[in-house]
């Protein structure tokens, strides 16, 4: 194989990896959406507040730490 052919093969491999990651992200986002819908239903059924500022603050801090 030439350098150009090797580069094209590597490019295809990397793009395949990106495509797999994209599919996994979409699946995870769909799962998250289903869970948040269930939380909303549970809160409505039990007359719980829709928002929880303390939880939201904790989540923002947790996610910021993960992002770093």
- DSSP output for 5-68: HHHHHHHHHHHHHHHHHHHHHHHHHHHHHHHHHHHHHHHHHTT--S--HHHHHHHHHHHHHHH-
Q: What is the pLDDT of residues 23-63, one digit of tens each?
A: 999 999 999 999 999 999 999 999 999 999 999 999 999 99
Q: What is the pLDDT of residues 11-22, one digit of tens each?
A: 999 999 999 999
CB 24 within 8 A of CB 17: no
Return the pLDDT at 36: 97
Indicate the domain borders of the chain. 3-67
The whole-angstrom separation of Cα 1 and Cα 47 is 66
| Residue 1 pLDDT > 80 | no
Question: What is the pTM for the complete model shown?
Answer: 0.75
| Residue 5 pLDDT > 80 | yes
Domain 3-67: CATH superfamily is Chorismate mutase (1.20.59.10)
């Amino acid at each position: 194989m030439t350098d150009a052919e090797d580069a094209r093969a590597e490019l295809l491999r990397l793009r395949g990896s990106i495509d797999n990651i994209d599919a996994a992200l979409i699946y995870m986002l769909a799962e998250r959406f289903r869970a948040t819908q269930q939380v909303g239903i549970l809160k409505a059924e039990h007359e719980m507040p829709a928002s929880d500022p303390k939880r939201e603050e904790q989540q923002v801090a947790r996610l910021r730490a993960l992002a770093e």
